Amino acid sequence: MKPVLVLLVSTAWTLTGAQYYYQGLMDYLENRLLAIEDRMQFWHDQSHRYHTELKDFKKLTAEAMDALSKEHSLLFKDLEGASVRVDRVEREMDFVETLTSPRACVKKADKVVEQGAWGLEESRGEEEEEEEEWEEVQSRLSDCVEILSGIRSVKILKRVGSPKGMWTRDPRSSKVYVFNGTSGDSVYQFNSVRDFSSSPGASSSRQIRLPSDFSGPGSAIYNGFLYYIEQEAETDMQVVRYDLTSDFVTDIAMFPVESRAAVYGLNPETVADLAADDEGLWLLYASSDSEPNIHLAKMDPATLDIEQIWDTRCPREKAEAAFVICGTVYVVYNTRLASRSRVQCLFDVNDMVLSEEAPLLYFPRRYGAHASLKYNPEEKQLYAWDDGYQIIYRLTMKRKLLV
């Protein structure tokens, strides 16, 4: 009986130890789970706090962006106001500049009063010597006596093509011709300025294929003919006369130059510039790289013969373009960093106007610098190409003073 009791006691002791062991294990696992729950709760609290801070930061950022947007709008309005004031000042400057008229000058012995020159009613009792003097003065003056006095208005027609090019209107037919770029053999013809303005592009125009490439934006339209510069060799420059009606080259004239020199310092692509006015056809060129001034040649539009050549005394440096009105060359200057173009030098083939006495005429500020300026004598307008924009300047004219 005693061994049985010992066995029972031993078994009970064993079961009690196992119970304590498992109880301890369960307590350990429970503590670990509680620790994990605490850590999860901590992470949850931290995540909630970060989320709240992120929302607050987003709100502050949105408020700051709204404030910046409002400040930007105010600044933009201020800049617009400043631009309007600058444009007003420029217009006032242009107006003031136009009030100062240039004094023309001829030889002292040939001075006549303007009213007397154009409304001359001499009595029959005047001496023969005085009549001869008047005939001499009349012979050296041209029929065209207008001089540029100002720019009346500006019209930006559209923007099409390359930054540099040329466009002009034929006074005889009202057709518009567009030269896109500074070289090529394609010329685009439109029926009118309105058609060109409303056209989507060159696809709606008539494309004229020239027999050779034009060189530079210095072409001209005169009496139904296209005159353009062709230069292949280094020193050989040709003026080509092209009939726009029959699409045929009618004449070519060689114009020898010493080297390939640009006529305008700011537009090296313009090797020469043809201009047409009431007097006929003119050629602006530079004889060589060493020549500092722009030269002018009067050409016969039918035969392309050179009738006379002048040194305009207008420097090529900082020149961007030029045009001719009634035998007077107006050279437009600018800077390397394009600013306001200005007529700073002019030359009159009749010696009726001196460049030093002419007003400094500014063009309204636009996009860059003029690649070409073409005068239309019928409309008294300039057709300009400025950084791909086609612009029309309406001019105001007055008579040259014969004093």
Can you list the alpha helix ranges (DSSP code H) found in 235-357?
Answer: none
Q: What is the mean pLDDT of residues 276-304?
A: 91
Instruction: Tell me the mean pLDDT in the region 250-269.
Output: 85
Give me the pLDDT at residue 129, please: 40
Residue 126 has pLDDT above 60, yes or no: no
Most confident of 28-32, 50-54, 229-233, 382-386: 382-386
- The confidence band for 172, taking pLDDT boundaries of 50, 70 and 90, is confident
Separation between Cα atoms, residue 198 and residue 157, nearest integer Å: 9
Report the alpha-carbon distance of residue 315 to residue 19 in Å, rounded.
115
Domain extent listing, the chain:
1-99, 107-399
Please report which confidence band the pLDDT of residue 265 belongs to, taking 50, 70 and 90 as the band edges: very high
**Does the pTM exceed 0.95?**
no
- For residue 63, pLDDT over 60 is answered with yes
Dist CA 50 CA 364 (whole Å)? 59
Strands 248-256 and 272-277: unpaired
What are the φ and ψ backbone dihedral angles of 276, each rounded to 5 degrees?
-125, 140
pLDDT of amino acid 356: 58
Domain 107-399, CATH number (from 1.10.760, 3.40.50, 2.120.10, 1.10.287): 2.120.10
| CB 229, CB 272: distance < 8 Å | yes
Side-chain-facing half-sphere of 143: CA atoms under 13 Å: 4
pLDDT for the residue numbered 119: 36
Helix H, strand E, coil C: the string for 262-275 is: CCECCECCCCEEEE
Say which range, 31-45, 118-132, 167-181, has the weakest mean pLDDT: 118-132
Specify the range with the lowest mean pLDDT, choosing from 103-112, 219-228, 262-271. Answer: 103-112
Pair of tokens at residue 65: 């962006």
What is the mean predicted confidence (pLDDT) over 79-94? 72
CA distance 316 to 285: 10
C-alpha–C-alpha distance, residues 279 and 300, integer Å: 10
Ranking 125-129, 164-168, 225-229, 299-303 by mean pLDDT, the lowest is: 125-129
Element (H, E) at 93: helix 2-99
CB-side exposure of 208: number of CA atoms within 13 Å? 23
38: amino acid identity, one letter: D
More confident residue, 283 or 398: 283
d(CA 106, CA 336): 36
Which candidate, 190, 160, 170, places its Cα nearest to that of 390? 160
Residue 166: which of 383, 317, 379, 350 has the closest Cα?
383
Q: What is the CA radius of gyration of the chain?
A: 42
